[in-house]
Structure 1
């Protein structure tokens, strides 16, 4: 199994790159999706988040009992202490579930872990290859405002809460530039995928039935 860590700043297009890798045969383990699952209604994770933020005097539940993610985001991205408190609850649960999914992948050759905070949490050494999806800060800002409907202040706060572009690039084994068109992105992903397949072959990694 070739373990790939995929990361990129908010608005970089990392989710699209994840999807393209999955189309090409990778097993995708999406940390963002898992992070939502572990705080779904009725989970111990949600109960713990409510307990922690209740101690701060913050209400983080929506009327239907689910986590009010926009409300929580507005709280934590402007307060490093509260962001750290949230991460202390969610990150161990995400790591545990990710390990379970990786084990379930069995003989699949390339497993891509989509990890938004890979750089921030010093996780690069855990992977055989680290791929960074890169976009200029101005491009990120335009996407967050134009495509996600954030205000410019909200977008800048989200970007500032993450590692810098330079910090992400410093841990990259492979960079996927996503400042251009979707066609250019697909072509670059094809190149990277071919490289991953070659690396797996050199390492003698094959499916049991290959």
Structure 2
């Protein structure tokens, strides 16, 4: 993997909820990639006082705010995942700003010739498959393991099901991606799968 810095590459990492995208991101960082988490970008764009913050609060009202005036992610999440049209409305408010921020970030990595990856759960749902990717990788995991992880995060089985159903079916994401990494075993096996795929992608270039 020592030749990474000599070959600029930009990867879009997508997949189902709780399939292991963040873990793949950590593995890529250890391999020398810059990694951008699109969810964190979205949260930052909704920080108090920013334009997206005002749009979201204006649309959904003060009920989504904590006492200090910041947007409560649990309150907002409960509101939109209970009501699919509201989730679509939230995405319509946030995704354009996320897209712009990601385009700028990707351009900076290209200029620096820095291998990079963006963790983007809704890559296909948000229409961002046309960003400047070299390859799109889908991280998959068995449904039982996904629900186990979501419940470990404090979600009820009903809430977990709503989160899973709010996204494009995993099989569709796998079909549309350039490569699929199956997170079905140990962390060590996942690391080997990531390294194998990155090596193969580099050889294709």
Decide: shared fold, TM above 0.5.
yes
SS of the aligned residue for 1:130 comes to: strand
Q: Which residue of 2 aligns with 1:130?
A: 136
Q: How far, CA to CA, are the matches of 2:13 and 2:107 in structure 1? A: 18
Tell me, yes or no, if structure 1 residue 11 matches structure 2 residue 18: yes
Q: Closer, same or farther in 2 for the Cα pair 1:196/1:185, shift >3 Å?
A: same
Larger helix fraction of residues: 2
Q: Deviations over 1:136-180 (max 9, x none)?
A: 11110011112x121111111100101112111111211111011
1:78 matched residue in structure 2: 82
Pairwise CA RMSD: 1.5
Matched residue of 1:67: which SS? coil
For the 8 Å contact 1:24–1:193, the answer to whether it is kept is no
1:139 corresponds to = 145
Paired residue total:
196
- Which consecutive unaligned segments of at least 5 residues does structure 2 have? 1-7
Q: 1:90 maps to which residue? A: 94
State the partner residue of 2:3. Answer: none
Q: Distance in 1 between matches of 2:123 and 2:107?
A: 20
- 1:72 partner SS: helix
Indicate the residue corresponding to 2:112 in structure 1.
Answer: 107
* Aligned twin of 2:5: none
CA distance in 2, matches of 1:187, 1:154: 33
Q: How big is the shift at 1:2?
A: 2.4
Per the normalisation by structure 2, the TM-score is 0.90
TM-score normalised by structure 1 residue count = 0.88
Alignment of 1:9-88 (within 5 A): 9-54=16-61, 59-88=63-92
